[in-house]
Amino acid sequence: MKHLDERISDLVDDRLDHDERDRALAHLTSCDHCRQQVELERYAKAALRSLPEVAPSDKLVASLLALAEPGGPLPPDRPSFPVSAAPVAGWRTRTDRPAGIPGTTRPERSSRVSRRPARVVRYAAAGALSAGAIAVLLASLGGPTSSIQPPPATVSVVPPVDQFTVEHARSTGNLPFAEPASLLVPASPPPLGGGR
């Protein structure tokens, strides 16, 4: 029996057309396995929807936005001037950036400039890794629904016609007026020059 597999998610998400939906529902009446898969999918969908919305904190938003800003002081190894404690790794937010901070001398700015390409590379690498992880996750979700049995593909076959012919002849054993011998005689090649 061919299971619904990929069509389970389409059925749960109501993406099947009328005829496909009817066929899928008819299949569910006799297939416990697919019925369980449909229920699991519906449960997962409902659970995801029931999760509360999580709003990011203002500081996180600001930090993320600041990543797009050019420049900005690098987090020092040791704090040399009083700065407000940043929630993550000493990053400064835009609002935290002091206009004139004691100690922000030209040498610091030059070191900041010289370390900017490295930071950009780090952020780019982190972004690429994150994007890759998200892509793998989405690809795994976008694959066919897993099932106990692998989804059966329509197998390309060549019927064993000679064997079928012999079996047909053998099946006439109970017919006293049929002619089984004719079925067993190999066909002769057509005469040269065409038959008719």
Please give the span between the terminal C-alpha atoms of the chain, in angstroms, as a whole number. Answer: 48
- Distance of closest approach, residue 128 Cβ to another protein, in angstroms: 15
Task: Find the largest Cα–Cα distance for the chain.
Answer: 115
Count CA within 13 A, CB hemisphere, residue 151.
Answer: 11
CB closer to another protein out of 68 and 161: 161
For residue 73, the minimal CB distance to another protein (Å) is: 38
Nearer to another protein, 88 or 155 (CB): 155
Q: E strand or H helix at 136, and its extent?
A: helix 106-141
114 HSE (CA, 13 A, CB side): 6
Q: Rounded to the nearest whole angstrom, what is the least distance from the CB of residue 4 to another protein in the complex?
A: 15
The residue count of the chain comes to 196
Name the residue nearer to another protein (CB basis): 44 or 128.
44
Nearer to another protein by C-beta: 85 or 156? Answer: 156
Interface residues with another protein (CB under 8 A) are: 2, 9, 13-14, 44-45, 48-49, 135, 137-143, 154-159, 161, 163-188, 190-191, 195-196
